[in-house]
Structure 1
Amino acid sequence: MATNDPAPVILIDDDADLLKATRQTLELAGFAVSAFSMAREALAGLDAGFAGVVVSDIRMPEIDGLQLYDHIVEVDPDIPVILVTGHGDIAMAVKAIKDGAY
């Protein structure tokens, strides 16, 4: 990635309105965003050496954010993952941080 290339972000959220708003905010800040409503879709295009960051909601159908994090670590443990939620609890936050998520 050249220094002038926008930093890539993979964004995952099952809330369509929040996904659209977050994507727009990140793009206006200069990031290259690939947005997905399902974790499975995002994982399909993710490979080792991805030079960006993954930002994901935690509570989603099928594969939740914590399960997604585990899959990403299997692909490449050096990919930074930021997990966000509007419905968190202390135990969930502690587990995510202990596992290495941000």
Structure 2
Amino acid sequence: MNNNATTVYVIDDDDAVRESLSWLLESVGLKVETYADARSFLAHITTSQTNGCVVTDVRMPGMSGLELQTELTERQIGLPVIIITG
């Protein structure tokens, strides 16, 4: 990952939601990375990645969006988090 690029990280267990959000965000010129679950995202993110934001579903198997936000805070990863639900 390019630590200087502004990236929107989309985390959602629903394939259709991930794909549609990715398409929408990319259509306005944003760089997007998608993950099917919070743990996959956490395995790739580092504390040096501070440009961008997280868009995550509130309810997902394994780790919810709220639990993800707590984990990011505990790891001192200062990305803003937008929590969505459908």
TM-score by length of 2: 0.87
> Is the Cα–Cα contact under 8 Å of residues 47 and 76 in structure 1 kept in the other structure?
no
Greater share of residues in helix:
1
Q: Distance in 2 between matches of 1:26 and 1:65?
A: 19
Q: Distance in 1 between matches of 2:13 and 2:77?
A: 24
Which residue is 2:25 aligned to? Answer: 26
Greater share of residues in strand:
2
Q: Distance in 2 between matches of 1:12 and 1:77?
A: 16
Runs of at least 5 residues in structure 2 that lack an aligned partner in the other structure:
none
**Please, what is the CA RMSD of the aligned residues?**
1.2
> Is the Cα–Cα contact under 8 Å of residues 46 and 77 in structure 2 kept in the other structure?
no
> Is the Cα–Cα contact under 8 Å of residues 49 and 76 in structure 1 kept in the other structure?
no
Matched positions, count: 82
1:1-102, aligned counterparts within 5 Å?
Answer: 1=4, 7-50=6-49, 51-86=51-86
Instruction: Compute the displacement of 1:76 (Å).
Output: 2.1
Whose Rg is larger?
Answer: 1
Higher relative contact order (CA closer than 8 Å, sequence separation 6+)? 2
